[in-house]
Amino acid sequence: MLALAIDTATSATSVSVVSDDGRVRSTRQVVDARRHVETLSPLIREVLEDAGVEMAALGIVACGVGPGPFTGLRVGIATALAIGEGLDIPVVGVCSLDVVARAAVRDHGVPVTVLTRARRAEFCWAEYDERGLRSSGPLIKNEADLAIDSLAVGDSGPVQHVMYPSAADLADVVLERLAAGERIPATVDLPEEDAGQSGTASARILQDRARRGLLLLPPVPIYLRRPDAVVPASVMGGA
């Protein structure tokens, strides 16, 4: 089975085609926080052409579901859903911080803390043990609240190694978990907290799933909390 993997949860747009024997057929990544829309479709065409794969040959689409900034995150998920719908193949999500942690632990062999950009002086944060299993998070933390006792990796904040979610690693997670018998969940209820909160309600659910060895998620974005912006009352019909 061939997997097309997409992640736009950070400033990087990453796309890969990976076969179920773990072979990366093609991979591309572009770092530009403001051009996910313009970058993603050409990258998909490039990796398919480079891999010598027709779109119809794909068996599954994997997408990073965050947490991450609203606009960039939804570009990748919406594209993954459109491809899955058009080809009538499954679409599965994975926490993007888990993907970064997988690569970091593989490279360094130690517990890691993953930090990615949320907004202003805030970060999406999660801790992982030396096996790459999530032990805390994901949460949104303010710079003043960060206490990091392990190797810090990611794309923002006080990181020791800059790393972005790799679509190739994302595909590996999905194919590995499917081979182990994990099923793609139809839904996982992740309640968003009010703007300004840390996302602890969603984190508890995700931590419980991780403790049970469940990493696959539906292709629904992890926002952790509601945005600051609200729809004007005049638009909602309240004026």
Q: What is the pLDDT of residues 52-92, one digit of tens each?
A: 999 999 999 999 999 998 889 999 999 999 999 999 999 99
Query: One-letter amino acid identity for 108?
Result: H
Band (pLDDT 50/70/90 cuts) for residue 239 is: very low
Residue 238's SS3 state is coil
For residue 147, which of 157, 133, 134 has the smallest C-alpha distance? Answer: 157
Residue 90's SS3 state is coil
Task: State the DSSP string of 92-141.
Answer: EEE-HHHHHHHHHHHHH-S-EEEEEEEETTEEEEEEE-TTS-EEEEEEEE
Q: Considering the chain, what is the average pLDDT of its residues?
A: 93
Is the bond preceding 191 in cis, omega lying within 30 degrees of 0?
no
For residue 44, which of 60, 27, 62 has the smallest C-alpha distance? Answer: 27
Model confidence over 82-121: pLDDT tens digits?
Answer: 999 999 999 999 999 999 999 999 999 999 999 999 877 8
Beta bridge partners of 3: 18, 60
Q: What is the pLDDT at residue 132?
A: 92
Over 70: is that where the pLDDT of 236 sits? no
Question: Per the structure block, which two tokens stand in for 238?
Answer: 């309240």
d(CA 94, CA 190): 14
Over 80: is that where the pLDDT of 229 sits? no
The answer to whether residues 24 and 43 touch, using CB atoms and an 8 Å cutoff, is: no
Mean pLDDT of 14-35: 95
Q: What is the pLDDT at residue 110?
A: 96
d(CA 64, CA 145): 26
Over 80: is that where the pLDDT of 228 sits? no
Which of the pair, 164 or 225, is modelled with greater confidence?
A: 164
% of the chain beyond a pLDDT of 90: 83
d(CA 130, CA 110): 5
Please count the other Cβ atoms lying within 10 Å of the Cβ belonging to residue 167: 32
Q: What is the pLDDT at residue 63?
A: 98
For residue 103, which of 191, 14, 41, 26 has the smallest C-alpha distance? Answer: 14
Q: Where do the structural domains in the chain lie, given as residue ranges? A: 2-96+165-193, 98-162
Question: Per the structure block, which two tokens stand in for 168?
Answer: 């190739």
Domain range 2-96+165-193, its CATH number among 3.30.43.10, 3.90.190.10, 3.30.420.40, 1.10.540.10: 3.30.420.40
Over 90: is that where the pLDDT of 227 sits? no
Model confidence over 153-206: pLDDT tens digits?
Answer: 999 889 999 999 999 999 999 999 999 999 999 999 998 888 888 999 999 999
